[in-house]
Amino acid sequence: MDISYENIENKKLIEAAHEAKENAYVPYSGFHVGAALLTDNGGFFDGCNIENSSYGATVCAERAAVFAAVARGERHIRKIAVVSDSKRETPPCGICRQVMSEFMAPDAEIILENENGPVVYKLSELLPNSFGAKDMK
Ligand code: THU
């Protein structure tokens, strides 16, 4: 059993994401998603998916959590956990990956979950060669 601080922290974030998932507003898909994140300052924020009858206005759990952090003045997200009720991992959608790349370093962690427990990816693995401010110079 891995009882490293890192591992315990990741499990706690997964738990927090499951709690956030309870508030998902999903009358259209029925697919509940929760996210929980830690910032470089030690801040904690969470979010859930919030759907809309105009489907394109839906916001994913990851973006809800990231925007909650940014709205509180945070700019550097250290790691984020994302969960659903699926036995498989719930990989962040492309838009969420792009939003994460604005506030997360390439080696920041994205913690997903499958039936065997947490699985950790670096942002650069999920969004290689991403577009960013550096590309507008
Ligand atoms: N969804 C998320 O919240 N995060 C993801 O990573 C994938 C998709 C939501 C959006 C929508 O409410 C539902 O899942 C189905 O796409």
The answer for 8, left when phi > 0, alpha when psi is -120 to 50, beta otherwise, is: alpha
pLDDT band at 21 (very low <50, low <70, confident <90, very high): very high
CA of 3 to the centre of ligand 1 (A): 31
Q: Is 60 in the pocket of ligand 1 (CB under 6 A)?
A: yes
Active site residues: 62
Q: Note the pLDDT tens digit of each residue in 66-107.
A: 999 999 999 999 999 999 999 999 999 999 999 999 999 999
Tell me the one-letter amino acid at 42: G
Q: How many whole angstroms separate alpha carbon 13 and alpha carbon 64?
A: 16
Closest ligand 1 atom to Cα of 90: 6
Q: Note the pLDDT tens digit of each residue in 34-59.
A: 999 999 999 999 999 999 999 999 99
Residue 76 pLDDT: 98
Q: Is 48 in the pocket of ligand 1 (CB under 6 A)?
A: no
Residues recorded for the chain: 137
Q: How many whole angstroms separate alpha carbon 50 and alpha carbon 58?
A: 6
Mean predicted lDDT score pLDDT of the chain: 96
Residue 45 burial class via C-beta count within 10 angstroms: exposed 0-12, middle 13-18, buried 19 and up: buried
DSSP state of 134: G
Can you tell me the mean pLDDT for 110-121? Answer: 95
Q: Is 86 in the pocket of ligand 1 (CB under 6 A)?
A: no
Residue 9 pLDDT: 94
First-to-last C-alpha distance (Å) of the chain: 47
CA of 82 to the centre of ligand 1 (A): 10
pTM of the model as a whole: 0.96
Say if residue 123's pLDDT is above 70: yes
pLDDT band at 137 (very low <50, low <70, confident <90, very high): very high
Closest ligand 1 atom to Cα of 24: 12
Tell me the one-letter amino acid at 130: S
The pLDDT > 90 percentage for the chain reads 94
Q: Is 61 in the pocket of ligand 1 (CB under 6 A)?
A: yes
Strand boundaries in the chain, DSSP class E: 33-39, 44-48, 77-84, 104-114, 117-122
Q: How many whole angstroms separate alpha carbon 37 and alpha carbon 40?
A: 10
